Amino acid sequence: MRFFTATVLGLLAPSLAAATNLTIPSRLALPSDFKPAQVFKNTNLVRNTNLEKGYVRETVNVVVENVDTQPQSDYYIPFPADVFERVGGFEVRDKKATGKGRFEVDVTEAVSSSDNQYFVVHFPEPLAPKSQITLGISYSVLSSLSPLPATIGQNDKQYLTHSFSAYIHSAYQTVTQKTKLKFPSADVPDYTTTEGLKSGADPERKGATYTYGPYDTTKVAPGTEYPITVRYEFTNPVITASLLERDLEVSHWGGNLATEERYWLRNNASQLTNQFSRVEWTFSSYQKAPTSAVRELTYPLLPGSVDAYFIDDIGNVSTSRYRPGTAKTGANLELKPRFPIFGGWNYSFKVGWNNDLSAFLRKATGTDSYVLKVPFLQGPKMAEGVQYERVIVRVVLPEGAHNVRYELVEGAASNGLPGANQIQASLSSFKTYMDTLGRTTLTLEVDSLTDEARDAQLVVTYEHTLVDALRKPLTIFAGLLTVFVGIWFIGNLDVSIKKR
């Protein structure tokens, strides 16, 4: 069918216009002996580390002062190269004016002379000498928590360790700094106590919050390390998706937005010392005891979601349950994997559902342009959090859509996503359901995300004309006509041997 319609439709097909804002992440190349110029001073730094989830969420509030004679606008934030690749959702804002949105951030390539890689924060306007600015830096670090002991019994408590430096890893001199740790519970059996860094007990303990510092670090050179390790109870799974593929398919004819997500899950919790025992598991799940295994995933869906399914490579997972909910509360998909996922175990699956398109799509009056607003990421909502090593979001637009642009909605607070220049975007064409040209597909790829990005919204604008909409009915009509004409023609051929 493709052959004979291609010529006809070639005339009708508009060219896929290149007027898009698609980016490929670029990395700043630095000279091999690069060191950030000492043009700033951190007068006060407070680091808040949240360990309540299966990943580390850090918020650093720092007062930065320009100590140079020239106005400066590039602030460098270093990370060790091995940690750097696991830093996700990096965002910097002016703490005094969070509503103004995030600062532009660039990423550097690895520098051979140092172990560091940098985020380069560009201030919107250069900071004058002697003046100060308060930065709010937030990010999460994935897969940095390791269970200790690495193997436990099936009903044992699980403990995670978190290691960091008492002196924050900064490119600039810091005057005072402190670190606040928030643990999931007060059960912290092991933690480093520092000596000689400050007067009085260090850390200060208050319930589940431990505070290291404040330290006077005027004389400490930037980059000095003082290792600290804490070990705390976390009898929850450490849910990690090594890959999430999320497809959103827009159908104008059907008035439908179809979503399908494919997960490759892994539990990074402690592994089992012995093999799995069903007897113990039966008794412990009867008592609803806390466990480091994934027992169930709750997956909130938007109101009006229908036809939800939960399948894996070998068919429907019959243990799942879908609660449609009301128009206000939204639906809930309770995903119960076929088996409990213990530390080191894998589970890959697919979920999908349909939504009415009208709630997501607006047409600009008088023009052919459309605006689509969909969640960038949905995913299960778990108290212990979910980390995504790689997320690929595909938005399949109708056939013939062109002038595709996208934008991620920014709010007053962090949306859990990195800056736009860290998201790899591309356009491609995807052929399905008797397409001739293929559907325009916007693909967005992000590394290292956490479930904080659940509420991020993606806005896609595109143009789609009436001719585009009529292409498929005409194609099918032309195809069937050709078949009938062909049959009629063959039927009229006289191939008999004898003369009539």
Partner 1 sequence: MAQSSSLDVLLKGSSGQSTRGLLRIIILITIAAAAVASRLFSVIRFESIIHEFDPWFNFRATKYLVQNGFYSFWDWFDDRTWHPLGRVTGGTLYPGLMVTSGVIYHILRFLTIPVDIRNVCVLLAPGFSGLTALAMYLLTCEMSKSPSAGLLAAAFMGIVPGYISRSVAGSYDNEAIAIFLLVFTFFLWIKAVKNGSIMWGALTALFYGYMVSAWGGYVFITNLIPLHVFVLLCMGRYSSRVYISYTTWYALGTLGSMQIPFVGFLPIRNSDHMSALGVFGLIQLGLLRTLSAGVIAPWSGRFYSLWDTGYAKIHIPIIASVSEHQPTAWPAFFFDLNFLIWLFPAGVFMCFQNLKDEHVFVIIYAVLASYFAGVMVRLMLTLTPIVCVAAALAVSSILDSFLVLTKPNPESQTKTTSEDSKSLRSTQKPVVGIYSYFSKAVVTGSITVYLLLFVAHCTWVTSNAYSSPSVVLASRMPDGSQFIIDDYREAYYWLRQNTPDNAKIMSWWDYGYQIGGMADRPTLVDNNTWNNTHIATVGKAMSSREEVSYPILRQHDVDYVLVVFGGLLGYSGDDLNKFLWMVRIAEGIWPDEVKERDFFTARGEYRVDDEATPTMRNSLMYKMSYYNFQSLFPAGQAVDRVRGTRAPTESPQLNTLEEAFTSENWIIRIYKVKDLDNFDRDHNNAVAFDKGLKRKRASKKKGPRVLRTE
Q: Which helix (H) or strand (E) holds 467?
A: helix 466-492
Q: Would you say 134 or 277 has its CB closer to partner 1?
A: 277
Q: Would you say 11 or 497 has its CB closer to partner 1?
A: 497
Q: Would you say 69 or 318 has its CB closer to partner 1?
A: 318
Q: How far is the CB of 173 from partner 1 (least distance, A)?
A: 50
Q: Which helix (H) or strand (E) holds 134?
A: strand 132-141
Q: How far is the CB of 183 from partner 1 (least distance, A)?
A: 31
Q: How far is the CB of 253 from partner 1 (least distance, A)?
A: 16
Q: Would you say 6 or 186 has its CB closer to partner 1?
A: 6
Q: How far is the CB of 163 from partner 1 (least distance, A)?
A: 29
| Cβ neighbours of residue 292 closer than 8 Å, sequence gap 6 or more | 147, 152, 158, 235, 236, 237, 238, 267, 269, 270, 342, 343
Q: How far is the CB of 309 from partner 1 (least distance, A)?
A: 9
Q: Would you say 68 or 312 has its CB closer to partner 1?
A: 312
Q: How far is the CB of 497 from partner 1 (least distance, A)?
A: 11
| Per-state percent for the chain, helix, strand, coil, to nearest 5 | 15, 45, 40
Q: Would you say 100 or 431 has its CB closer to partner 1?
A: 431
Q: Which two tokens stand for residue 232?
A: 């705390």
Q: How many CA atoms lie within 13 A of 363 on its CB side?
A: 12
Closest CA to 100 of 91, 90, 88: 91
Q: How far is the CB of 15 from partner 1 (least distance, A)?
A: 21
For residues 87 and 129, is the Cβ–Cβ distance under 8 A?
Answer: no
Query: Can you say how many angstroms the Cα of residue 360 is from the centroid of all Cα atoms in its chain?
Result: 21
Q: Would you say 75 or 347 has its CB closer to partner 1?
A: 347
Q: How far is the CB of 275 from partner 1 (least distance, A)?
A: 5
32: alpha, beta or left? (left if phi > 0; alpha if psi -120 to 50): alpha
For residues 216 and 176, is the Cβ–Cβ distance under 8 A?
Answer: yes
DSSP bridge pairs for 388: 241, 449
Q: Which two tokens stand for residue 231?
A: 């070990």
Q: How far is the CB of 480 from partner 1 (least distance, A)?
A: 12
| Cβ neighbours of residue 400 closer than 8 Å, sequence gap 6 or more | 13, 14, 437, 440, 464, 465, 467, 468, 469, 471
Q: How far is the CB of 326 from partner 1 (least distance, A)?
A: 22
Binding site for partner 1 (CB under 8 A): 1-2, 274-279, 282, 312-319, 338-339, 345-348, 431-435
Extract long-range pairs of 2-6: CB within 8 Å, 24+ residues apart: 2/436, 4/478, 4/479, 4/482, 5/436, 5/475, 5/478, 5/479, 6/436
Closest CA to 336 of 285, 273, 397, 387: 285
Query: Can you say how many angstroms the Cα of residue 353 is from the centroid of all Cα atoms in its chain?
Result: 20
Extract long-range pairs of 161-165: CB within 8 Å, 24+ residues apart: 161/190, 161/229, 161/230, 161/231, 162/49, 162/51, 162/56, 162/229, 162/230, 162/231, 162/232, 163/227, 163/228, 163/229, 164/49, 164/227, 164/228, 165/225, 165/226, 165/227, 165/228
Q: Would you say 221 or 279 has its CB closer to partner 1?
A: 279
Q: Would you say 249 or 463 has its CB closer to partner 1?
A: 249
Q: How far is the CB of 311 from partner 1 (least distance, A)?
A: 8
Q: Which two tokens stand for residue 418?
A: 């990195």
Q: Would you say 68 or 435 has its CB closer to partner 1?
A: 435
Q: Would you say 4 or 185 has its CB closer to partner 1?
A: 4
